[in-house]
Amino acid sequence: MSGRTTGLTPPEDSKAPVRHPDAPAPGETLGAHYDQCFGCGHQPGGLGLTTRAGEGVSVTAEFTVRTGHQGAPGLAHGGVLAAALDETLGSLNWLQRVIAVTGRLETDFVRPVPVGAELHLEARVDAVHGRKIYCSATGRIDAPDGPVAVRAQALFIEVRVDHFIENGRTEEIDAALADPDQVRVARAFEVNP
Ligand SMILES: CCCCCCCCCCCCCC(=O)SCCNC(=O)CCNC(=O)[C@H](O)C(C)(C)COP(=O)(O)OP(=O)(O)OC[C@H]1O[C@@H](n2cnc3c(N)ncnc32)[C@H](O)[C@@H]1OP(=O)(O)O
């Protein structure tokens, strides 16, 4: 394998990640950050990922590959697997109480994942440098210690809630801002909203 790109290598003066004191306890299920989210929301075509807080700044998640997730016959689409990794990595936001979005996501597809398989994902923050959050994730087939199917290295960039307000379609942003549950979730992510 060719190894990491420089964009995913934490600078030498990076800091160790810090779990926020108000982060959900290890084992606690993390809710959806947005009900319409393809990854963690509750919509028929989505992944319906269930994520739990882990130790330190880590999370675990599972999702079952369904027929609507196919690329080749009987196998999960690579983009769906990358989305599952991306979503699991995004859930690390809950433990740091920051809002961060994916800047770069590098994925290794190690094994094909059949329809019906349950993908067990684990993600952690490796290092933080200013707004840059360096993290990694692994997806295993059918058990937390099952064969590795996918791996990812990622760089998330911390943003303010304005990132969504300024860039999202007005219709959905207005609905989100009018929804007290959504505002509560945004505040749970952001230390200084
Ligand atoms: C109301 C809703 C509330 C709930 C919300 C919860 C949402 C959670 C969602 C989770 C859902 C799941 C997750 C999802 O799916 S998130 C959805 C997918 N991601 C996006 O849509 C992000 C699109 N990109 C952007 O908006 C901007 O490019 C961002 C914000 C990322 C940076 O633009 P910004 O202008 O702000 O910053 P900057 O350009 O000065 O860069 C800053 C630093 O970062 C470095 N850099 C940047 N990119 C890369 C790269 N590709 N490789 C290597 N390095 C990169 C850059 O060199 C610089 O470094 P340095 O010079 O400082 O050393």
Please give the Cα distance from 128 to 33 (Å, whole number). Answer: 22
Give domain status of residue 29, yes or no: yes
Distance separating the N- and C-terminal Cα atoms of the chain: 42
Is it the case that residue 182 has pLDDT exceeding 80? Answer: yes
Nearest CA to ligand 1 atom 54: 7
Helix axes 170-177, 180-189, angle to 10 degrees: 90
Query: Phi, psi (5° rounding) for residue 188?
Result: -70, -25
Give domain status of residue 9, yes or no: no
Give domain status of residue 5, yes or no: no
Q: Which of 83, 96, 90, 91 is nearest to 31 (CA)?
A: 91
- CATH of residue 108's domain is 3.10.129.10
Q: How far does residue 171's CA lie from ligand 1's centre (Å)?
A: 23
Please give the Cα distance from 94 to 57 (Å, whole number). Answer: 9
Answer yes or no: is the C-beta of 155 below 6 A from any ligand 1 atom. Answer: yes
Give domain status of residue 2, yes or no: no
ipTM: 0.97
Q: Which of 84, 153, 154 is nearest to 117 (CA)?
A: 84
Residue type, 16: A
Average pLDDT estimate for 96-120: 97
> What is the residue-averaged pLDDT of the chain?
93
Give domain status of residue 30, yes or no: yes
Most confident of 30-39, 133-142, 184-193: 133-142
Render pLDDT for 45-57 as a digit per residue (tens, 0 to 9): 899 999 999 999 9
Average pLDDT estimate for 105-126: 98
Give me the number of domains the chain comprises: 1
Average pLDDT estimate for 8-35: 94
Q: Whole-prediction pTM value?
A: 0.95
Query: Phi, psi (5° rounding) for residue 169?
Result: -65, 135
Give domain status of residue 149, yes or no: yes
Is it the case that residue 3 has pLDDT exceeding 60? Answer: no
Cβ neighbours for 55, distance < 8 A, ≥ 6 positions apart: 26
Give domain status of residue 88, yes or no: yes
The pLDDT, as a whole number, for residue 189 is 76
Structure tokens at 164: 């969504």
Average pLDDT estimate for 87-112: 96
Structural domain range at position 110: 16-189
In the three-class reduction of DSSP (H, G, I as helix; E, B as strand; rest coil), residue 118 is classed as strand
In the three-class reduction of DSSP (H, G, I as helix; E, B as strand; rest coil), residue 92 is classed as coil
Q: Which of 101, 106, 170 to mutate to test the pocket of ligand 1 (most atoms within 8 A of CB)?
A: 101
Q: How far does residue 172's CA lie from ligand 1's centre (Å)?
A: 20
Q: How far does residue 159's CA lie from ligand 1's centre (Å)?
A: 7
Atom of ligand 1 nearest to the CA of 104: 51
Q: How far does residue 101's CA lie from ligand 1's centre (Å)?
A: 5
Please give the Cα distance from 132 to 128 (Å, whole number). Answer: 6
